[in-house]
Chain A
Amino acid sequence: MLDISPAEWTAILLSLRVAVIATLVATPFGIALAWLLARRDFWGKSVLDALVHLPLVLPPVVTGYLLLLTFGRRGLVGGFLADTLGIVFAFRWTGAALACGLMSFPLLVRPMRLSIEAIDRRLEQAAETLGATPFKVFFTVTLPLALPGVLAGMVLGFAKAIGEFGATITFVSNIPGETQTISSAIYSLIQTPDGDAAAGRLVIVSIVLALGALIAAEWFARRATARLHGN
């Protein structure tokens, strides 16, 4: 089997931690935004929609640089957070999670939004006639029916977060044990003589993780369809 070295394990576990935290923190924001985009009409909606998708089309190095400017030690938000709450992003794994969360956000939101859009609004009306406030309608009808889509979005976002490279390395660099994820480890290994075997092992791990996530997302999507048909 794969003979993974301790250094490689460190990178794999760090990647998993970064991606898990990024996905968990992004999910509530993703659900709120997906609901807003699917169910509400408001001024500036198309601008917000474009902003959400921006990390998908912007060069990752630009996103990373913008993160550094805003969330770096001397950045506007970063300086404030470090001074008041003691939260530091620059050159820390938390910064990697922030970069991954942002980069994977468009992929996380999309299935959530589609699944909310697919819910028959007349069911929500029926819930209202039965005495449910909009808040209760959301938690007892909308969210349960959208759940497979929410999970699919989380899986997809997780897969993207685990593979993120450009924004992460620009923002928090490539420090083994702190910010060196699978992607940045592979990048370092390819540039080292004799690093090919180790790089190859990490490449296989990446492929397995990505494929697993895609298959899981597909499975959740099929569950969503079955759920909406009441079977």
Chain B
Amino acid sequence: MLRVDIEKQLGEFSLSAAFASEGRVIGLFGASGAGKTSLVNMIAGLLRPDRGTIVIDGETVDDSAAGIHVPTWRRRIGYVFQDARLFPHLNVAQNLDYGRRMNGLAPDPAQHKRVIELLDIGALQGRRPGKLSGGERQRVALGRALLSRPRLLLLDEPLGALDEGRKLEILPYLVRLRDEANVPMVYVSHDVAELRQLATQIVMLKQGRVTSFGGVKVLT
């Protein structure tokens, strides 16, 4: 599903990571500053590796030796950021529809309905992002990413900006997403409990290096 073998120098920090995974949810675990976000940004194409390859779903999206670097907008990935990044000039319904429109996909009312029910965001449709709570914003961001019909969903500490209560409110949605949405995910977190609940495989990062890789057991 996802194969990564990259090197990247970012100022003083050097990132070097290699792993291949068929897991449904790859948990990317590490302290802040371990290089998790840089790694995810490279999978998304927002950052270009100095050397190496990235393969998503059989398609080589980065290969430094062959000079391949597929731009972000053609990678067909979904990305949920810690800070949601909803478009402030669009209401919730327009935000949700954005990816479908940009990719020129035909409307799929059944999928639309399923995602909205899954995330319980039907009542928010007409609202502007400025009028949403943090948890609601994150649920809409999840829906927006899913509705662009990605082949891989990247979640970079999607609960990071929420307080404990809100986290517990969103977590069940993520579990449902894993079990029902049928999209493989890369889930970035520094929270062991979160990853235990969600991940099927763990990539542990420490100061820019993969220190262990395997089942959820490596978290202990």
Interface residues of B (CB under 8 A from A): 44-46, 71-79, 81, 83, 85-89, 98-99, 102-103, 128-131, 144-145, 148, 154
Contacts and interface: CB of A to CB of B under 8 A. Distances in A.
A228 B89 CA distance: 7
A37 B34 CA distance: 34
Contact of B81 (A122, A131, A230): A122
Contacts of A144: 89
6 contacts: A126-B81, A130-B103, A131-B73, A145-B88, A227-B88, A230-B131
Contacts of A131: 73-74, 76, 99, 102-103, 148
B144 A227 contact: no
Nearest to B86: A230
Interface residues of A, number: 23
Contacts of B46: 125, 128-129
A140 interface: yes
- Top-5 shortest CB links A-B: A230-B130, A230-B88, A130-B99, A129-B79, A131-B103
A145 B130 contact: no
A140 B102 contact: yes
Contacts of A231: 128, 130-131
B102 A127 contact: yes
A140 B99 CA distance: 12
Nearest to A145: B89
B71 to A, nearest CB: 8
A127 B78 CA distance: 10
Nearest to A227: B89
Contacts of B154: 129
A128 B103 CA distance: 11
A127 B44 CA distance: 12
Contacts of A132: 73, 98, 102
Contacts of A140: 98, 102
A141 interface: yes
A116 B130 CA distance: 20
Contact of B79 (A126, A133, A228): A126
